[in-house]
Chain A
Amino acid sequence: MIPVTWFIVLSVVLFMIGVAGVLLRRNLIIMLMSVELMLNAVNINFAAFAYYLQDLRGQVFVVFTITLAAAEVAVALGILIALVKNRSVTNADELDSLKG
């Protein structure tokens, strides 16, 4: 049997890659992909815990997380399309009309 720590190490590494992607990359689409990576790291966590605790709750959470990730990315891409149509930028650093 694989120890639960292995799963946690995997999910923490994935999560950190996602966090680094959002914070360091400036392309909005890559930032959204990094967010997806974070959510998938969470899914690994939930599935692993559900398996080790022999509890279905974690698996249910995974299903809902996947759905919400899809909904979130649909909204984000819709907003991105509106932004690109108006200004044709996909770089987060070029979003600078709001400052104070």
Chain B
Amino acid sequence: MPIGLNDIIAILPEIIVSLSACVLLIVDLFIPKGKKFFIGGIAILTVMVAAFVSFYIAGAGLTGMTVFSGMFAADGFGFFFKGIFFVIAILVILLSLSYVDTEGIENGEYYIFILFSLAGMMVMASGVDLLSIYLGLELMSLPVYILTGYAKLNKRSNEAAMKYVVLGAFSSGILLFGISLIYGITGTTELTGIATALSAGGAEHGALIIAVVMLVAGFGFKIAGVPFHMWSPDVYEGAPTPITAFMSVGPKAAAFAVILRVFLDGLAPAYDTWYLILSIVAVGSMVVGNIVAIAQTNLKRMLAYSSIGHAGYALLGVIAGGEEGVASVMYYMLVYAFMNLGIFAVMLYMRTTKRSGELISDYTGLAKKNAPLAFVMLLFLFSLAGIPPTAGFIGKFYVFMALIHAGHIYLAVIGILLSAVAAYYYIRIIMLMYMKEPEGEFEFVRSRPILYVLTLTAVVVIILGIFPGDLLSLAQSAAVFL
């Protein structure tokens, strides 16, 4: 089937991002060391242009079309997630500008890899065929593997990257085997075709459960759901901090976009098969994430476990299903991106030669030394714990609402009980910051871009907590992709 203008327009944002990444790869050769922030600037500009074009396409009523012979859908659902990715990419680049300088890993490729990863995430959010979804997944993962090991001379970074790449390749092998079984059962890789074949009797096939388990394992690895979470604390700790921030929100949101599409669209007729498996992963993630986080002394490791827990909450929204469930997951991912990037921004603001900002004890008595920083940290921790009036509360609230409306009361009760546990370790840090006397000297990075990120995320976390209506209705209107 020939390619028409529609196809090109539908993937214009992806084209812009990947083309700019390719051009920057060449431009980077001519930019002297020490001026590499220039590449970062162009990367931000590229993301802005792509965001503008996406916004225009979404606004011009060009959405809802499936192009490239059913490979790629330019629908509201995809555009909502792409919006999240654009924000994440811009904020992460802003966070990186001073970090790469102090760590001595300043290179143009750093920003280019973020762009490539962004392109992969965008393809994932719009993919409606298991082939394009898989391609997007790999395009997203490969740059993140490299970025994890970006501090070449840092042994912890090397080690984290090695663990991540071996386990990542392993999980994508399992995912592919699941895809091949689905293809064998249904005779297609297109999500709508899979749904048709499954409702026409394929759902009774015995191999389907194996295929579903393998898909859950593959996607579960990307969202760090228990029992596929083992990599995440180590990788989070070893990776450069802005990259940890990136992978805790970006690939996770992209994987959720894919999970929503695959399970609620393609595998919807097999709900009875995957419902129990996903419930086990969700409850396991909430239990392990929230309980193991209590024992951590390293803030990055603690955030890794907390992010495992948050993946569990978001999976509850997938289990709830329906428009409400989908919208709640989309909203949760948006909120999670802001609050998690915010807390990483605080960490980066603390990162100087005196202290790394990675240990929880580094924050002892912060309120006495820098009250505004301690306050935004408090805000993000409240939001992660789900305490009103922050955005995190609204996110959790809608997930539980969707779950109760869908009739899964038990799951909702478990989730609410475990978020009470989760509040403990977040509030422990707040206690340290406010109730204890400061130890040693404090020094701050005072980088302007990080300040911008801090301000923006803090403001958004409050605004989304108080006026969630507009974005929620946007998510609801975008959730009708089925």
Residues of A within 8 A of B (CB): 4, 8, 11, 15, 18-19, 22, 28, 31-32, 35, 38-39, 41-42, 45-46, 49, 53, 55, 57-58, 60-61, 64-65, 68, 71-73, 75-76, 78-80, 82-83, 86-87, 92, 95, 97-100
> B173 — which chain A residues lie within 8 A by C-beta?
15, 18, 35, 38-39, 42
Other than the given A35-B169, A83-B158, 6 more pairs (CB < 8 A) read: A22-B170, A39-B173, A39-B176, A49-B187, A71-B142, A82-B161
Residues of A within 8 A of B234 (CB): 98-99
Interface centre among A15, A41, A55, A98 (most CB of B within 10 A): A98
How many B residues have CB within 8 A of the partner chain? Answer: 43
Residues A100 and B296 in contact, CB atoms below 8 Å apart? yes
Q: Which of A41, A46, A79 contacts B162 (CB 8 A)?
A: A79
Are B176 and A42 in contact (CB-based, < 8 A)?
yes
Alpha-carbon gap, A75 to B180, bound state (A):
24
Whether the pair B166, A22 counts as a contact (CB closer than 8 A) is yes
- The closest CB in chain B to the CB of A57 belongs to B189
A41–B173 CA distance with the chains assembled, in angstroms: 9
User: Can you list 23 residue pairs at the A/B interface with Cβ under 8 Å?
Assistant: A22-B166, A31-B166, A38-B173, A42-B173, A57-B183, A58-B180, A64-B135, A68-B135, A71-B142, A72-B142, A75-B146, A79-B145, A79-B149, A80-B162, A82-B152, A82-B158, A83-B158, A86-B152, A86-B158, A98-B233, A99-B234, A100-B233, A100-B237
- A-B pairs, top 10 by smallest CB distance, nearest first, are A38-B173, A45-B180, A98-B234, A83-B158, A42-B176, A49-B184, A35-B169, A76-B165, A79-B161, A100-B301
**Interchain CB contact under 8 A, A95 and B163:** yes
Complex Cα distance, B188 from A18, in Å, reads 26
Q: Are B237 and A98 in contact (CB under 8 A)?
A: yes
A61 and B298 alpha carbons, distance in the complex (Å): 42
Chain B, Cβ-Cβ closest to A78: B146
Within the complex, the shortest CB–CB distance from A50 to chain B, in Å, comes to 8
Chain A nearest Cβ from B104, distance in angstroms:
15
Q: Assess whether B138 is in contact with A68, with CB atoms less than 8 Å apart.
A: yes
- Given A57-B183, A64-B131, A79 and B177 contact (CB-CB distance below 8 Å): no
